[in-house]
Amino acid sequence: MNPVTLLPFIVLIGAMFLMTRSAKKKQAAAAQMRNEMQPGTGVRTIGGMYATVKELHDDTVLLEVAPGVHAIYAKNAIGAVLDDAEYNRIVHGDDEIDGAVVPDDVSSLTEHVEADTDADTDADDADDAKIDLGKKAEADDVEPKDAKADEKSEGKADGEADAK
């Protein structure tokens, strides 16, 4: 056989190998994450439910969904193991966020702009004068109504076409 004819098959097999290799790496990382679970660890299930691990078994996990409410899940149903700070922030609403906090309203974002606008009113007035959003006078850009009526009455009635 000619090596050129085998080239597409070799490329296809190589691509399949690379895809399965990356999928196996993801599966191994997920399995390691699930094996790191300890009782008392906060987790998120693949359905999006947050819970605390109570007991670990071979293929199952006992989760405490709410105080006194327990549910048994398969280990494969655990989507993420969360660290304590993230779990407390999400579930209990602890706001220990480092960095800037987003305000609840827009007023705090515009306070410094209002102070600057008082000093720059002269410059703003000049900018406003440059922008003309009003309509021009009708006499400037509209031809008289009598001229339009004359164009219509050139032998055609309303609704007639120029078809010949």
Residue 14, both tokens: 């190589």
* pLDDT mean across residues, the chain: 76
d(CA 3, CA 6): 5
Q: Would the pLDDT of 72 be above 90?
A: yes
pLDDT digits (tens, 9 = 90+) for 92-136: 787 655 555 666 676 666 666 555 555 555 555 555 566 667 776
Count of alpha carbons within 13 angstroms of residue 163, beta-carbon side: 3
d(CA 53, CA 81): 10
Average pLDDT over residues 34-55: 90
d(CA 119, CA 123): 9
The pLDDT value recorded for residue 12 is 92
Q: Is the pTM of this model over 0.85?
A: no
Q: Would the pLDDT of 73 be above 90?
A: yes
pLDDT digits (tens, 9 = 90+) for 45-70: 999 999 999 999 988 999 999 999 99
